[in-house]
A = this chain, B = another copy of it.
Amino acid sequence: MESTTIKKLYREHESFEDKQVKLSGWIRTLRSSKSFGFIELNDGTFFKNAQIVFDEALSNFKEIEKLPISTSITVEGKVVLTPNAKQPFEIKADNIIVEGTSSSDYPLQKKKHSFEYLRTIAHLRPRSNTFSAVFRVRSLAAFAIHKFFQERGFVYVNSPIITGSDCEGAGQMFRVTTLDLDNLPRTQDGQIDVKEDFFGKTTSLTVSGQLEAEVFALSFRNVYTFGPTFRAENSNTPRHAAEFWMIEPEIAFAELKDDMELAEDMVKYIINYVMENAPEEMEFFNNFIDNTLFDRLNNVVNSEFGHVTYTEAIEILKKSGQQFEYPVEWGIDLQTEHERYLTEKVFKKPVFVTDYPKKIKAFYMRLNDDNKTVAAMDLLVPGVGEIIGGSQREERLDVLERRIKELGMDVKDYWWYLELRKYGGTKHAGFGLGFERMIMYLTGMSNIRDVIPFPRTPGNAEF
């Protein structure tokens, strides 16, 4: 008999009525009395379990009723519809084969464990309700992102992970080397001879694929990256990881308003896709992790996002009468408290803040005519604050060169980036979305370590 899956049984149980099926999975719970027992079986294909009913008629009844949870089994039996029970069906087992027994010291016993503890057993936590939901949502959200861009004809670009330059200056970088640290090669004047390193120079892990995405936008018009990026910052917060995935679309013949439209469409698309394709998981999050979740996500999906300039936002915050920890003055970088006040109290929906002071933004953002602000945008969402940052890029060769020099950087390091402007540059724009931030927003999980399969943070690179 061909195996079926619990997902298929849940989705199509009526067509399975009284049919014989074969299922394989892991025992989540088992209880038995003298002559019969119940197994909650999970096979990984679906959030919910299938209930297996077995009794003494099984030749191995005595063995089965003593199986430790997490044992993997194969069940053959009949599907019985149970329209009045919690589950829409159960399986009356004719035969149960033990695939692999578990051990009584299985760490995921029924009692509730702290997320901190579960991080220490990252190889087992995907078998718990919370983490099976998190990682299925993560998978679906990743696919939603690809689908969104591919449907719109965007070209997916794999920007390089190992990079020879710290062009964006977006943060501290990890060094990548094959030099023998115990026996470093030296030049005649005693310096480390980086020519001996694998790439013949100093290399690091990328902090962003944006500059390379711009190359592709100026060839393919609409492109996106989706890959890992890295920060070697020693920050032990619930929102920072050393290794995380980013989505960086880049669009040519486009201005800031096109960029914001794209971001709004994308965020709504991801939420809708996950709500449709993981209803059981999302219900679980709303019930057990964050009971404001559905309200929050529905509000995002059903709003037209607001728009406000940084200068207006500063005025709003100053006039609010609200006491902020960080005082508000034109020129400051907005803190999470300011961002959340704007999106939660003032706009009560997602809002784009645009046209930030050039001093607090990156060199590549397009200078506005006021010469003080740049065509940047941050998307703020209720419950979190900033979730997306983007900008129109400076396409004017002379302005870009001037900005690079103003900031004390070397134009030679940017030769190819500048050539994009020399050989048929166009208006273009893009943004970055931290994938894990999006997953946290979608699930209500509050620690980034709990939305990454094997998180990397200061002092931690286990598994």
Contact = CB atoms under 8 A, between A and B. Distances in A.
B161 A243 contact: yes
A44 B220 contact: yes
Interface string A431-463: 000000000000000000000111010111111
Contact of A232 (B135, B198, B232, B234): B198
A420 interface: yes
A99 interface: yes
A102 B162 contact: no
Contact of A212 (B45, B156, B424, B454): B454
B253 A24 contact: yes
A392 to B, nearest CB: 14
Interface residues of A, number: 107
A419 interface: yes
Given A5-B221, A176-B175, A221-B45, A156 B181 contact: no
A135 B216 contact: yes
A423 B124 contact: yes
Copies in the complex: 2
Contact of A44 (B102, B252, B462): B252
A318 interface: no
B72 A222 contact: no
Nearest to A157: B453
Contacts of A177: 174-175, 177, 181
A106 to B, nearest CB: 5
Interface stretch (A55-63, A82-90, A139-147): A139-147
Interface in A334-357: none
A463 B103 contact: no
A208 interface: no
A160 B70 contact: no
A71 B422 CA distance: 9
A200 interface: yes
Given A228-B228, A252-B44, A135 B164 contact: no
Contact of A99 (B122, B198, B420, B427): B427
A411 interface: no
Contacts of A153: 5, 7, 45
Given A461-B163, A461-B203, A158 B416 contact: no
A3 interface: yes
A155 B300 CA distance: 26
Contacts of A100: 395, 421, 424-426
Contact of A132 (B5, B143, B164, B220): B220
Nearest to A215: B123
A87 to B, nearest CB: 19
Nearest to A71: B424
A228 B103 CA distance: 35
Interface string A62-79: 000000001110100000
A92 interface: no
B181 A242 contact: no
A40 to B, nearest CB: 14
A156 B143 contact: yes
Interface string A87-107: 000000000000111110010
Contact of A178 (B124, B157, B172, B184): B172
A219 B127 contact: yes
Given A126-B219, A228-B227, A453 B103 contact: no
A417 B212 CA distance: 37
A452 B158 contact: yes
A157 B174 contact: no
Given A44-B222, A45-B220, A100-B421, A253 B74 contact: yes
A189 interface: no
A150 interface: yes
A360 interface: no
15 contacts: A44-B222, A70-B424, A99-B253, A100-B426, A123-B215, A135-B220, A138-B156, A159-B453, A162-B243, A163-B461, A174-B177, A199-B242, A212-B454, A215-B463, A416-B463
Please list the 3 inter-chain residue pairs (A to B) with the smallest Cβ-Cβ separation, ordered nearest first: A44-B221, A126-B219, A100-B425
